[in-house]
Chains A and B, each alone.
Chain A
Amino acid sequence: MELSVNVTENVGYITLVGQLWQNDDLISIYNEIETLLESNVQHIVLNLDRLGFINSAGLGLLARTYARMADYGGKFILLSPHSSVLEVIEVSGFDLFMTIVQTQEELRQVLRQTL
């Protein structure tokens, strides 16, 4: 898996490419999130439009990050999950409490409401 990080205003964007299931990848993402929070980023957007596969370990990362951001007082947003990844997210019931947006426009609206 590849990941890239950038920050715009006080929003941290993490883009995941490939497959999300290996422990080393999960650790890298956790570390990136902590680094972002230390630099006073307010919200985290996880861009999933190029993520092709997720398993229960990847779902665990989403759950843990959601809980971490709730404690932190920021928003955790999933952007453009691929249909097969979205299906697993929905099967696990995450769509009931996590913010999932499909387009940049939807993302801007959500961020406008929170900022």
Chain B
Amino acid sequence: MASGTDTLNKKILKYKARISRIISICKFFRSKYISLANKSRETEKLLEERSKALTESVYRLGRINSELDDEMETAKRIQDGLMPKELPEAVNLRAAAIYIPAGKVGGDLYDIIITPRQKIAILIFDVSGHGIPAALITAMAKMLFANNIEKSDSPAEVFREVNKSLCHFVKTEQYLTAFLGVIDPIKNLMTYSRAGHVPPLVYNTKTSTVTKLDTKGFFIGHSALLNIAEYWDSKVQLAPEDKILFYTDGLTEGCSDEGRMYGTERLRDALMSFGPLDIKLLLDKIVEDQEVFRNGTPLRDDFTLLCVELKDSEYLLKDSGFTREDEPSILLVYSFNDIEKACAIILKELDKCGYGDKTIKQFRICIFEMLTNALIHGNKNDSARQVVVFYKITQVSASISVIDEGDGFDYNNIPDPLSHENRLKDHGRGVFLMRHYFDEVLFNVKGNRVLGRKYHGGK
């Protein structure tokens, strides 16, 4: 019996031990379950936080992106504003331009500036890169070029100064290429310099030939170039009706669907074919030719085309009282606002040649008379018409010739303003004052040109 009880007790103990183990296992799993459940909650919380942060980041990025888009749009507008809206009227040339964007803000710019010496400066440049940095450098370069073109008619000198300033201000790796030509409108002589820019092409209408305006010259504005960059002036004698094609490399680097570039040779061929056309149509045809070549391949870079056509300056001189050999300077006047400026240029020359204060004041009256008569009576206050002023000041004599686009007047029958019947009239003293102060006053037959001459120290 005792052994039976012992056996039972042993069994009970054995079962108890098993139950205890089972309870331990259950406790273990329970604790694991609780731990896992806690971790799951933490994970959920973490996921929720991460998700929230991600949403905020996406929103922030969207906002930044939108701000960048706005800034790019502003940069694009600024750059569009830098392009000349109307090319200035120049005495003996016509110009047309076209800009083809490539979706991003580029760094192309062109400008035509009449210099204070009445030369015609034609500028084209291309800033490396795109976006806001390119737009900023474009704006800065435009102002630097304009300031320096005002000071000098030497393109190489202008490039040297712009390079110095840009190297000083721009601390990035960006640079620009440029071409600047300065045309003497009387001689049709162009002084030019090239700063790593693609060389313009000249189409000669008479011979139907194309020549390249090539010359050496470094890029502009890269700080590594500050002390080594050099630029040189070259000269080319142009002929009336010549067409000069300035462009940026986005045109020639446009690729076909086979990966070939449009290239200079194809551009040259296009200019040979379309050269006889009007300059606006000529540009359209070249753009079209490049589009056909690309065959739908998107542009990698924006590009600019500027075409300048020279007119014959002989017709202007014909009636001026000057000859080409006189090498007179030339000024254009369209409205009363131009009179002071034109007058200041001529009087400065008189001062340089030693004409006294009294003569300069008298000359001033005469210039005002000549120009106001030409604008009011000749051009009938129509600012679309131009008054061409030729002048030649030497230490021997000072001559000024003013030609308007009117029908002329009868200069042989000008009433005497000193006579009793005319003395209280409110007009009719302009020619009288010119005749009083000049030593010679000569009209052309038509009466739309007056030439006044004063000899230094008297006739």
Interface residues of A (CB under 8 A from B): 21-22, 53, 55-57, 59-61, 63-64, 66-67, 84, 88, 91-94, 97
Contacts and interface: CB of A to CB of B under 8 A. Distances in A.
A53 B364 contact: yes
Nearest to B376: A23
Contacts of A91: 433, 436
A63 B424 CA distance: 5
Contacts of B432: 56, 92
Given A21-B368, A67-B424, 18 more contacts: A21-B372, A53-B364, A55-B365, A56-B427, A56-B433, A57-B372, A60-B429, A63-B424, A63-B425, A64-B424, A64-B426, A66-B424, A88-B433, A92-B429, A92-B432, A93-B417, A94-B423, A97-B423
A55 B417 CA distance: 14
A57 B364 CA distance: 14
A92 B428 CA distance: 11
Contacts, number: 50
B436 to A, nearest CB: 5
B369 interface: yes
Majority DSSP secondary structure for residues of A touching B: helix
Contacts of B433: 55-56, 88, 91-92
Contacts of A55: 365, 368-369, 372, 430, 433
A74 to B, nearest CB: 16
Contact of A56 (B361, B423, B429): B429
B423 A60 contact: no
Contacts of B429: 56, 59-60, 92
B336 interface: yes
A21 B361 CA distance: 15
B456 to A, nearest CB: 20
Interface of B: 336, 361, 364-365, 368-369, 372, 417-418, 423-430, 432-433, 436
B250 to A, nearest CB: 48
- Give the dominant DSSP class at B's interface: helix
Q: Which of A55, A56, A61, A64 has the most CB of B within 10 A?
A: A56
8 contacts: A21-B368, A55-B368, A56-B427, A60-B425, A63-B424, A63-B426, A66-B424, A97-B423
Contact of A88 (B365, B424, B425): B365
Q: Give the most central of B364, B429, B433, B436: most A CB within 10 Å.
A: B429
B257 to A, nearest CB: 63
Contacts of A53: 364-365, 368
Nearest to A24: B336
B355 to A, nearest CB: 15
B438 to A, nearest CB: 13
Nearest to A63: B424
Contacts of A21: 368, 372
A97 B372 CA distance: 27
Contacts of B427: 56-57, 60
A81 B57 CA distance: 77
B426 A60 contact: yes
Nearest to A57: B372
Contacts of B424: 63-64, 66-67
A93 B423 contact: yes
Nearest to A64: B426
Q: 5 nearest interchain CB pairs? A: A60-B426, A56-B429, A64-B426, A56-B430, A67-B424
A2 to B, nearest CB: 16
A69 B369 CA distance: 27
B430 A63 contact: no
B423 A63 contact: yes
Nearest to B425: A63
A60 B426 CA distance: 4
Given A63-B426, A92-B429, A84 B361 contact: yes
Nearest to A67: B424
Contacts of B423: 63, 93-94, 97
A61 B372 CA distance: 16
Nearest to B437: A91
A94 B426 CA distance: 12
B244 to A, nearest CB: 40
Nearest to A88: B365
Nearest to A84: B361
Nearest to A96: B423
A29 B354 CA distance: 37
A84 B372 CA distance: 20
A13 to B, nearest CB: 22
A84 B336 CA distance: 22
Nearest to A30: B426
A67 B421 CA distance: 12
A21 B373 CA distance: 12
Tell which of B365, B417, B432 has the most Cβ of chain A within 10 Å: B365
Contacts of A60: 425-427, 429
Contacts of A88: 365, 433
